[in-house]
Every structure is written in C-alpha cells, then in structure tokens.
A and B are shown apart, each in its own frame.
Chain A
Amino acid sequence: MSALRNELRRELRRESALLHIDWTACDGRGLCTELLPELLQRDEWGYPLSLGYGSNVPVPRALMDAAQDAVALCPRQALRMLGR
C-alpha cells in the first residue's frame, strides 16, 4: 500500500514542478495571475493566491511554459521554479 503511495507521489513529482512565490518581494502587480489563470487567482488586494497551496504551487507540465514566462516577467523577481 505504502509502496503504491510512494509510486504515486513520485509520479506526481515527475509530472509537476513547484513555482515558488517570495511574498516579501511580491508587490501584487498581477502579471503572474494573467499568465497562469489556471493556477493563480488574485486576492482582493491584487496578490496572487493559489487555492490549497501556500508559497509553493505545483505546476503541471502543460503550464510549464507559462510558469517560466511568469518567472521571467515578474517585475519584482518574486517568482522562481524550485529545482527538481
């Protein structure tokens, strides 16, 4: 059972990377929420919000390009991909 769970977890990790949001740097300019509407909502002050996740948001493979664009374009350099 636990072997299966580990296998599933590994599968998930292979499928997705983590987008890290540095809250001390983020200024809520909303570029990332435009580029990743599937992952990030905007809270009422304009900051990105990922329901169910905190500072590390799993990015499915299909959204990797968009996530990389967000990392490159964030005006406060508040985003990075966590290495795998």
Chain B
Amino acid sequence: MNEALWALGRGTGVVALALLSLSVVLGIVHRSGRPLPGLPRFSVTLVHRDVSLLGAVFTLIHVIALFFDPQAQLNLVDFILPFLGTANPFWLGLGTVASDVLVALILTGLLRRSVGFRVFRFVHWFAYAMWPIALLHSFGDGTDSAAAWFNVVAVLCVAAVASAVIWRLTTGFVEFKKLRTGELP
C-alpha cells in the first residue's frame, strides 16, 4: 500500500508538472490572440482552462497521496503554509508555495467575471512565478530527479515554456501588433 502511495505521489507530481507546463504554453498562445492549427482561438482558451484544471487535479492527488504516505512525512500545515515541513522543508515548501499560487489562479480564473478583469489579470501574472517554483520543487524534492526519464520530461517542459516566453517577448507576438502600431508587416 505504501509503495503504491509513494509511486502514485511521484507519478502524479511529474504529470502535474507536464500539464502545468503545457498550460503555461497554451496561456501564452491564448494571449497572442492567434489560433493554433486546427484549434480556433476560443478552443485555445478552453483547452488552456481544461489543461490547467487537470494539472490542478493531478497536483491534488499528488499532495493527498504523499500525505498518506509515511515516507513523505507531510503534515497538514504543509498543505497551506510553506517551509515548516519535517523532511526537506525548503524544497517541500516550494511545492506548497506553487500549489497555493495554483489555487489562487484557478479560483480567480473560474470566478473571472465576479472578481473583475484587473484582479484576474494581477493574479494571473503569478503563473509566471508558479511554474519555475514548481519546477524547482520537482528537482529539489523529487525522488526521480536524477533519473534519465525525469530529466527528459523536465527538459521538454523547460524547452516548451522557455520558447513560448521568448516568443511572448518578441514584437510580433500579438496578432495585428505591427498593423496597430503603424508598421508594415
């Protein structure tokens, strides 16, 4: 049973990292105002939302499985307050910070119309902080962080998010940007 919980906790953590990376990339594509091949703009938004929610579900299973696993030595307080853990308090704390931010992102995302656009956007910027924190947590706290397969997954995640962020910073990022600022494409 413990073996199973341990495996579940680790596996879901890696899947959550991959899903949240994909979510960041989709969020950036959405922000560009561009469709993807075969995916119109409104679908990009919906897939971004669904992948994020799925990432949150995997994060939840990850946390719960490790809570019931004696090896991880998780306390209830580690669900909410970072850096108070028994084992690896710093690296575990990063996971707590990331999941706290994730909860805020999900809540303001789903209640977007009630909280208003400004609050939503302010909180949503923290996605760019959440992702590297979650990545560091998976490297620092992850049992598999030395394993080759984990490094392949991590490199793919980093490559995808890094290229999306770099694209985000280029001038041609937003559709119609060149036209709107008066330059010719």
Contact = CB atoms under 8 A, between A and B. Distances in A.
Given A46-B33, A46-B175, A75-B30, A29 B41 contact: yes
Contacts, number: 41
A: contact size bracket: 10 to 19
Interface string B143-185: 0000000000000000000000000000000011001100000
A38 interface: no
Q: Would you call the interface of chain B mostly helix, strand, loop, or mixed?
A: helix
A51 B60 CA distance: 48
B40 A75 contact: no
Contacts of A31: 41-42, 45
A53 interface: no
A76 B31 CA distance: 11
Contact of B179 (A27, A30, A34, A45): A45
A28 B33 contact: yes
A82 interface: no
A44 interface: yes
Interface residues of B, number: 17
Given A34-B42, A35-B42, A76 B117 contact: yes
A73 interface: yes
| CB-CB nearest 10 A-B residue pairs | A46-B176, A29-B33, A77-B117, A31-B42, A31-B41, A34-B40, A45-B180, A73-B42, A45-B176, A34-B41
Interface of B: 30-31, 33, 35, 40-42, 45-46, 112-113, 116-117, 175-176, 179-180
